[in-house]
Structure 1
Amino acid sequence: MAMFYYLALCLLATSVLATKPYTYSSPPQRKYVIHPPPHYKSPPPSASPPPPYHKSPPPPSHSPPRSKIYKSPPPPSPSPPPPYVHKSPPPPIHSPPPPYIHKSPPPPSSSPPPPYVHISPPYVHKSPPPPSRSHPPPYHSKPSPSRTLIYYYRSPPPPVRI
C-alpha cells in the first residue's frame, strides 16, 4: 500500500515539474578562502590498554504496532452450471374438430314486397296575421327624486342684416 502512495507521489511531482519550463542557470561563483592547515598534536602514547568495549542492548523502540493488512477473500470459484436439460413442449392434443354445420339462408319468400307509397303531409298555408293598429304602451318615466327641471326650447335669433 505504501508503494502505491510513493508511486502516486512521484507521478504527481513529475507532472507538476513537467508543466514549468526549466531555465538553466549556472550557480553563483564562490569565493574561496584558503585557511592554513590546522596544527594537530597527537596524544602521548599511553601504556595502559584501552578499556574493554561493552555494548549495551538497544533501547526498546517505541514504533507504532504494525498495521493490519486486510486482504479480501478470494473470489468464489465458479461452480459448473447445472446440466442443460432440453424439455420439448408437449405434443398438441389431437381432438377432433367440432362438426361444421352449414346453415343456409332461408329461401326467399315467394310473395313480392309491398309497393312503396310515399305519403306527404297535407300542405296548409297560413298567412301572417295583419298588423295590429294598436299603439305601443305609453312610456312612463319615473320622476327623479331631485326637483324636476323644465327646459324651454328657444330658436336662435334671426340673422342680422347689415
Structure 2
Amino acid sequence: MQRLRSSISIPWLAASVVIVLAIWCNSMVPGSDSSEISHGVLAMVQGFLVDLGLPASWVSNFIIRKMAHFTEYAALGVSVSVALDRHAHLDCARVLTIASTVLIAASLDEVIQLFVPGRCGQVADVLLDCMGAITGVAASSFVRRRIAKRSIS
C-alpha cells in the first residue's frame, strides 16, 4: 500500500476528480436538454463529414451519445491511471484500484440518471464506460512506457 501511495500524482488525481464531476453533472441534465445537446453535436459531426465529402447519414444520435460515454471514460481512464500509477508500473494492486475507481464512477453515473427526468440508468452504459476506461488506461500505459524507453536510450 505504501508503494501505491508513493506513486500517486496529486495534479492527475485532481484532474480525475474534475472529470468525474463533469461526467456526473452531464448526467444531471434532464433528458430533453441532453437530447438537444447531442442533436447539436450530431449536426456538427454530420456537417463536418459532408464538408469532407464523406457520407454522413450513418452517424446517428445513438452513436453520438454512446461515443460520448466511451470518450469521457477513456479520458477518465487516462487520468486515473496516471494519477494512481504515474510511473507506469501496473501491478495487481494498481490495476484493481484503477478498475474499482472507474467501475464505481460509472455505476454512480448511471444511478444518478435514475433520478433525473427523462433519463434512465443502463447497465450497458456501465459496460461501455468501462471499455472506454480500459482503452484510456491501455493507451496511457503504452504511451508512457514508450516515452520511458526513449528517455533511457
TM-score where L is the length of structure 2? 0.16
Name the structure where helix makes up a greater proportion of residues.
2
Higher relative contact order structure (alpha carbons within 8 Å, sequence separation ≥ 6): 2
Give the number of the structure whose alpha-carbon radius of gyration is greater.
1
